[in-house]
A and B are shown apart, each in its own frame.
Chain A
Amino acid sequence: MKKYTDTGKKDTRSGFGAGLTELSKTNENVVALCADLIGSLKMEGFIENSPERFFQTGIAEANMIGMAAGLTVGGKIPFAGTFANFATGRVYDQIRQSVAYSEKNVKICASHAGLTLGEDGATHQILEDIGLMKMLPGMVVINPCDYNQTKAATLAIADYVGPTYLRFGRPKVANFTPENGEFVIGKAVMLNEGTDVTIVATGHCVWEALIAAEKLEAKGISAEVINIHTIKPLDEEAILKSVAKTGCIVTCEEHNYLGGLGESVARVLSLNNPTPQEYIATKDTFGESGTADELMAKYELDAPAIEAAAEKVMKRK
């Protein structure tokens, strides 16, 4: 199996901050907005370089989304940042009408997504945001897996014209994708070729999938691991090509199984090549307080859960 090395744990939100800081120097049309969470979103670098292009809205997310839409009229590329919960559910109608339906080039940048926000608990742990965002016509939905990829995604979405949802997280996690790697929106990344089972994962679950694949290899099971950083548009070809070979699939995400990556994959499979599928996802439940690792284990989103799901789905072939 292909080896991946963790070059040192880093948070994906810092990858976003690094990307945004770079954009402050390389793209004069990029502007940023934040609703009282500058430090959490790591936006200090952008603000230091380009204070005139930063807008602090205070704790008023609806106004922030509307302002972001308005800033596009005048040629700006707004990056609006807050926690994923407040960047989606709280402002759904503002995003729907002023951004998505109005086809505005707004980048909704959502940190602290999913369970791994940790101790703050369920009020802040949104597990429905991928579903909310992917249902909006024209919205691109991206959930990168580590620091390097989040930075690359931040740079890539500045060059894409259209409404975009960029989801990332709070905890420090393995950083294993290449520094300054290429990020192609909508193009899945093959991490390990295998023949017995396909594991597609997004966000923090990608590293867990790689650990699971190693354990499976020790048992003589060849797992194909694919990083689906873009949930919409989904790389259907990569998924169909893989299951044609393996005949079964596990989908992994830090999100409810209703509305997430797993359902998007299931739709593609049911239309083209019905395939046994297991879901690594939260099971229509809210989260709770705890450490990130504890929560990933309790809600069965970690490597042991993926390993077990892979063995289970293989028996359904």
Chain B
Amino acid sequence: MSNISQLEDFATQVRRDILRQVHAVSSGHPGGSLGCTEFLVTLYQEIMNRKDGFDMDGIGEDIFYLSNGHISPVIYSVLARSGYFPVEELSTFRKLGSRLQGHPSTHDGLPGVRIASGSLGQGLSVALGTAQAKKINNDDNLVYTLHGDGELQEGQIWEAAIYAAAYKVDNLIATVDYNGQQIDGSTEEVCSLGDLNAKFTAFGWDVLEVKEGNNIEAIVNGLKEAKSRTGKGKPVCILLHTMMGNGVDFMMHTHAWHGKAPSDEQLELALSQNPETLGDY
């Protein structure tokens, strides 16, 4: 088991990777990526049961689906630094011929990715299919997903939410990146999600909230609690309260950095707030 400070160092390096990837091609989505860094580092480094290497079927291990595919810089960094592909490949992000497409794909054979995502709202359904395949295969490992909160405005999410409860898909933990921001403004302004906890509860899910979604210790405890609630006849939902742009002071408290790359000066400032820990690619 990693200790908390090791995970924090890992997360700091991932933040550097995110900023450098996005800066290098002047495109991509740093805000949501930074906000989910601690969660994904904790999930891959501390929580998930993962086999060595990668195969598409993933039988005998936990599986993660990124439904909000635009936060590709963070999943690419976490996958690379978890051993799925060479860290140096992060330098090809969004470039012609790269396996690191703007949004994650299986088309180009990047290890660690099992579904394309980018068009929002589809990952929960895919996860349900895999969760049901695990049940048929008598594979007691879990399926994890991550969704943007704005993504929950897509109707397909609620089709899947109904199914998951109706058919007691209890080997699934869906996490919502609850940062309250989307492209056109706050989720409250754009199209209010209302009381998400009450909504998922009413849909028959077991809901827990992690109030400090950028605090690794809180995330570890929340994910462990969520795991303990699986296998009890209900799908499990984590409302992860995060800060978009976390770890870079000028990217926080705004939706402005949802899909915008930093300038040279802004990159320098952002990196100075996140000193190198594991070594840059």
Contact = CB atoms under 8 A, between A and B. Distances in A.
Nearest to A67: B129
Contacts of B125: 62-67, 69-70, 94, 98
B136 to A, nearest CB: 6
Contact of A98 (B122, B136, B155, B162): B122
Interface string B161-203: 0110011000000000000000000000000000000000000
Interface string A58-95: 10101111111111111110100000000000000110
B156 A62 contact: yes
Contacts of B126: 66-67, 69-70, 73, 98
Interface string B103-140: 00111000000111111011111111111111011010
B136 A52 contact: yes
Interface stretch (B53-61, B216-224, B243-251): B53-61
Contact of A70 (B116, B118, B128): B128
A31 interface: yes
Nearest to A55: B132
B106 A102 contact: yes
Nearest to B121: A62
Given A67-B132, A70-B129, A75-B137, A97 B159 contact: no
Contacts of B80: none
A68 B156 CA distance: 14
Contact of B130 (A31, A53, A74, A101): A74
Contact of B115 (A62, A96, A98): A98
Given A70-B128, A74-B57, A74-B59, A102 B116 contact: yes
A167 to B, nearest CB: 23
A66 B123 CA distance: 7
Interface string B37-60: 000000000000000000011110
B63 A66 contact: no
Nearest to B160: A63
A57 to B, nearest CB: 6
Contacts of A103: 106-107
A57 B136 contact: no
Q: How large is the interface on B (under 10, 10 to 19, 20 to 34, 35 or more residues)?
A: 35 or more
Interface in A252-268: none
Contacts of B121: 62
B132 A73 contact: no
A102 B105 contact: yes
Q: Which size bracket describes the interface of A in this complex? A: 20 to 34
A71 B133 contact: yes
Contacts of A31: 133, 136
A290 to B, nearest CB: 33
Contacts of B106: 101-103
Contacts of A71: 129-130, 132-133
A26 B133 CA distance: 19
A70 B159 contact: no
A175 B97 CA distance: 50
A102 B121 CA distance: 15
Nearest to B135: A52
Interface in A8-57: 31, 52-53, 55, 57
Contacts of A70: 65, 115, 125-133
A103 B113 CA distance: 12
A76 B130 CA distance: 9
B126 to A, nearest CB: 4
A63 B58 CA distance: 21
B20 to A, nearest CB: 27
Which 6 pairs of residues, A with B, have the shortest CB-CB distance? A70-B129, A66-B125, A74-B133, A67-B129, A60-B159, A63-B159
Interface of B: 56-59, 63, 65, 105-107, 114-119, 121-134, 136-137, 139, 155-156, 159-160, 162-163, 166-167
Given A70-B133, A97-B118, 20 more contacts: A55-B132, A57-B163, A63-B156, A63-B163, A66-B156, A66-B160, A67-B125, A67-B160, A70-B125, A70-B126, A71-B129, A72-B129, A73-B56, A74-B58, A74-B59, A75-B133, A76-B133, A93-B119, A97-B117, A97-B119
10 contacts: A31-B133, A63-B128, A64-B125, A66-B123, A67-B125, A69-B115, A71-B132, A76-B136, A102-B116, A103-B107
